[in-house]
Structure 1
């Protein structure tokens, strides 16, 4: 079942004229979101978000069916865009130091922490400004669907975009920074200190206690003092949420990530939405 969580669009947007418009897409087994950027005016014009709720299990085939149904229902997605970027959101990825990377051994990097299959296809992203390679398993069937829809497009793993975006914004920060990007049942942690990426990881959680445990465990492993580090939260989080409250209980400097984008937004895209869809709005 597909649940429309959010549909925002500029009034009187001409769907037949998407010249110089960019489309950003993010998707996972349980959801699909997109936004449209007018590159001429540097303004975001549309935002859509859908949840996929399966009665049995989330599978790549169910995912493809759901995404195709969203495209059938959304006229704006049926157009040809000036450029398209796609982000694959899953935990089937592994960061590898460039010095240890061998393109002939892609499966060995991912299988260490994940269950893989013989027919799996592997891809990799080079992290800019880092001596790291991100090896992952993309959803090939969905990529093929996008080829049919758009022709050419660029794709990468969500973690690649997250690390690069946060590092570019905060690499000159004087104090250690822990960033936590929060989703419904998992979150990503990015740690930046001394102008370097110190750590990236993803954790599944079901309670607020799970949430704070993994954050404090990460800080302890990196020998970071909870009294001195800065914890910045983004994604599905608000200041009165239980996740924010428990983080503030154990860590002195906690804040919601500020929007520092040079781009503009239509009025119906609020500050809360800019933070919730931070990565979608920075994916171009």
Structure 2
């Protein structure tokens, strides 16, 4: 029986002329996997410099098996992704199977119990992970489909693939970026079908949440509810937006109607970029870049 495979197409590809296949042992490979897209970037760990970025949109992904088959087809046709001699490989998962636990309440023996309180998980299909955030007294507990992790690890059998959640990448990226105030700040990352909200105060994490959306009104609704819950001013709160959005998009225009101190975020300050990366807006791919700072 033929395996079912979804469609994928390349949205963006940027390559630094200094990229060399002979230097892969000095490069970190960061992978970002979701149901709607797959992205990866390559960073030279000697210079903290991003050398390569590729962004693929996925379609027709209605099950884990289809996602695995689609990713494997994409990997098999890509000479770099099948290379096994990277310095390190980090895999970030985009899904709703996560929760944040205060460090003083966390026990690694109860990962599934934490997740059962906020989302649906299946011990027969999922593996459970956690990530201790270095700048906050918080632990991200999450689940990932076992077959996806096993498939990726099978491609890099001589390496220890670090698995994190998209939430941790975004949070660590913000807190390593050094673009914060001592007040409550709001950070938004807009993906193709989901968006994330982070609230910090004095660079300490107060809130993280991730929402699905279909239209701009959904983004505005969940953002306003979050600001109300956190007692944040629509006039004064510093609000930074990253992601799949532009200044003339309806998403940004609708947010601007309600939030006055809003602007686009910059590239992460902990990475270097050559002029080739000027092809994409500075506020794009912040979450992908930020996988690199997850330790």
- The reply to whether TM is greater than 0.5 is yes
What SS does the aligned partner of 2:276 have? Answer: coil
Q: Which residue, 140, 143, 149 being the options, matches 1:137?
A: 143
Q: 1:122 to 1:225 in 2, by over 3 A?
A: same
Q: Specify the alignment match of 1:103 in structure 2.
A: 108
Contact kept? 1:88, 1:139, Cα under 8 Å = no
**Correspondence list, 1:233-244, <5 A:** 233-244=241-252
Q: Specify the alignment match of 1:203 in structure 2.
A: 211
Aligned length: 282
Does residue 224 (structure 1) correspond to residue 232 (structure 2)? The answer is: yes
Query: Once the two structures are superposed, what CA deviation does each residue of 1:34-81 show, in whole Å capped at 9, x if it has no partner?
Result: 111122343322111112211xx5222111111111111111112221
Q: Specify the alignment match of 2:164 in structure 1.
A: 156
Q: 1:42 to 1:115 in 2, by over 3 A?
A: closer
Alpha-carbon separation, structure 2, partners of 1:83 and 1:263:
17
Report the TM-score, using the length of structure 1 for normalisation: 0.92
Give the deviation of 1:189 after TM superposition.
Answer: 0.2
Q: 1:81 to 1:273 in 2, by over 3 A?
A: farther
What SS does the aligned partner of 1:24 have? Answer: strand
- Range with bigger deviation, 6-15 or 231-240: 6-15
Could you tell me which runs of 5 or more consecutive residues in structure 2 were left unpaired when the two chains were aligned.
Answer: 1-6
Could you tell me which runs of 5 or more consecutive residues in structure 1 were left unpaired when the two chains were aligned.
Answer: none
Please list every run of at least 4 consecutive aligned residues from structure 1 whose deviation after the TM superposition is greater than 4 angstroms.
none
Contact kept? 2:268, 2:289, Cα under 8 Å = no
- Range with bigger deviation, 225-234 or 57-66: 57-66
Q: Specify the alignment match of 2:283 in structure 1.
A: 275
Alpha-carbon separation, structure 1, partners of 2:35 and 2:241:
23
- Range with bigger deviation, 273-282 or 186-195: 273-282
Contact kept? 1:27, 1:33, Cα under 8 Å = yes
Report the TM-score, using the length of structure 2 for normalisation: 0.88
